[in-house]
């Protein structure tokens, strides 16, 4: 049995029952109709069940149509709802004022059914196209985040594979020496080498856990976490790359007692992306990155600065767009800063380029304390 086709919903807001009846009868064949006879009731209904479109009378007792529209547009969850004003006043100033507030159209009384149907149908179709476009953008953004994560994961995999070699050689070496000690009956040496094997294995396990943790898909989980722990986790993931590039990281400006409320895995990725972005342009052997942090009343602020060549003026406006990269060989994904902004946006925060010149660049963002 096929599902019932979705019928879009129109909320009619008017203090006059006659107007509600006329509009309802005009639109009922094509849409589900709900109605409210006051501005306050309309706002309650929008909160309870978000309509697809609102026909809103301007002149009503109590909260008038203008104020209802202001409150709808001030709510991020409802600001997308198309609102068509209905009014008995055919005045250009009123129409202009309503459109400037955010209404999509203006219908005057007495109603002409054909005009009402045509305008409602037009704005419903525009809404469907906009919703479809937003869905495509959302899906594409998720794909971009996934591709950037895979690219970073590839880099980290190579680094961790290199990191595993040392403790693995340590484990193998101690195991071989235990075999010699067994022949010689040296139990004290055997015990010490067994401890060394355990330490080496634990180091390998920790490295693989980090890689597995980075690749694992998670739901959003905000917890109070020391900021230094988040930064240290990112630095551990990038340790081999930083050593290879000869980049010095200074985190002394981040207090150990400073904690932030966030998804620590996502914010760790923010630091990985920002540090990667800097190392792409730093001079090998003399690069330096400084991370500082502090707090205001309700937020922690974080700055990450480097001593690179700065960002060219003609590229400043596009650094947070997908596929921006400063690498000369174009081997980067160009998604790091785009993903960083997306992650911080999900935390209700923004990131800004606060300085860029010949002495380097500085990025600043905030995180919630609670």
Q: What is the pLDDT of residues 183-198, one digit of tens each?
A: 666 777 777 777 777 7
Task: Please state the three-class secondary structure of 208-257 as a single string.
Answer: HHHHHHHHCCCCCCCEEEEHHHHHHHHHHHCHHHHHHHCCEEEEEECCCC
Identify the DSSP state of 283: P
pLDDT of residue 272: 85
Average pLDDT over residues 124-134: 84
| More confident call, 370 vs 74 | 74
| More confident call, 261 vs 328 | 261
Residue 45, both tokens: 């209904």
Closest CA to 16 of 114, 116, 94, 111: 111
Domain 9-111 has CATH 3.40.50.800: no
Domain 223-368 has CATH 3.30.70.1450: no
| More confident call, 36 vs 149 | 36
CATH classification number, 151-215, choose in 1.20.5, 2.60.34, 1.25.40, 3.40.50: 1.20.5
Average pLDDT score over the chain? 81
Residue 165 has pLDDT above 50, yes or no: yes
Residue 4 has pLDDT above 70, yes or no: no
pLDDT of residue 331: 44
Residue 76 has pLDDT above 70, yes or no: yes
Q: Which of 72-86, 114-128, 171-185, 309-323 has the lowest mean pLDDT?
A: 171-185
Closest CA to 264 of 292, 215, 227, 216: 227
| More confident call, 80 vs 214 | 80
Residue 28 has pLDDT above 50, yes or no: yes
Residue 194, both tokens: 């067994």
What are the domain boundaries of the chain? 9-111, 151-215, 223-368
Q: Hey, CA dihedral for 96, 102, 103, 104, is it positive or negative? A: positive
Of the CA atoms within 13 Å of residue 243, those in its CB half-sphere come to 10
pTM over 0.85? The answer is no
pLDDT of residue 241: 75
Cβ count near 6 (within 10 Å): 8
């Amino acid at each position: 049995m096929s599902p019932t086709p979705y019928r879009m919903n129109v909320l009619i807001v008017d203090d006059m029952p006659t107007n509600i009846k006329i509009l309802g009868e005009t639109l009922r064949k094509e849409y589900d109709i709900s109605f409210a006879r006051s501005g306050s009731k309309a706002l309650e209904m929008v909160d309870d069940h978000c309509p697809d479109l609102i026909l809103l009378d301007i002149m009503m007792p109590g909260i008038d149509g203008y104020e209802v529209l202001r409150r709808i547009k001030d709510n991020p969850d409802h600001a997308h709802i198309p609102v068509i004003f209905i009014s008995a006043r055919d005045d250009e100033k009123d129409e202009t004022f309503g459109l400037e507030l955010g209404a999509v159209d203006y219908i005057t009384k007495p109603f002409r059914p054909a005009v009402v149907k045509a305008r409602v149908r037009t704005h419903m179709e525009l809404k469907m196209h906009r919703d479809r476009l937003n869905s495509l953008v959302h899906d594409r953004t998720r794909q971009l985040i996934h591709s950037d994560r895979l690219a970073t994961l590839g880099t980290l995999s190579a680094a961790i594979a290199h990191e595993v070699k040392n403790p693995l050689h340590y484990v193998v070496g101690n195991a071989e020496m235990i075999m010699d000690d067994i022949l010689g009956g040296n139990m004290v040496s055997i015990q010490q080498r067994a401890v060394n094997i355990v330490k080496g294995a634990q180091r390998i396990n920790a490295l693989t856990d980090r890689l597995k943790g980075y690749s694992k898909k998670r739901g959003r989980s905000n917890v109070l976490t020391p900021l230094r722990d988040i930064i240290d986790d990112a630095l551990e993931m990038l340790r081999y790359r930083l050593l290879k590039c000869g980049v010095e990281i200074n985190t002394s400006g981040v207090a150990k007692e400073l904690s932030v409320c966030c998804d620590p895995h996502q914010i760790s990725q923010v630091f990985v992306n920002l540090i990667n972005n800097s190392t792409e342009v730093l001079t090998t052997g003399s690069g330096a990155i400084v991370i500082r942090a502090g707090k205001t009343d309700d937020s922690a602020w974080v700055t990450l600065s480097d001593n690179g060549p700065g960002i060219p003026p003609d590229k400043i406006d596009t650094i947070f767009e997908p596929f921006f990269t400063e690498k000369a060989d174009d081997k980067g994904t160009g998604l790091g800063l785009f993903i960083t902004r997306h992650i911080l946006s999900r935390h209700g925060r923004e990131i800004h380029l606060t300085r860029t010149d010949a002495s380097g660049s500085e990025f600043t963002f905030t995180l919630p304390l609670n």
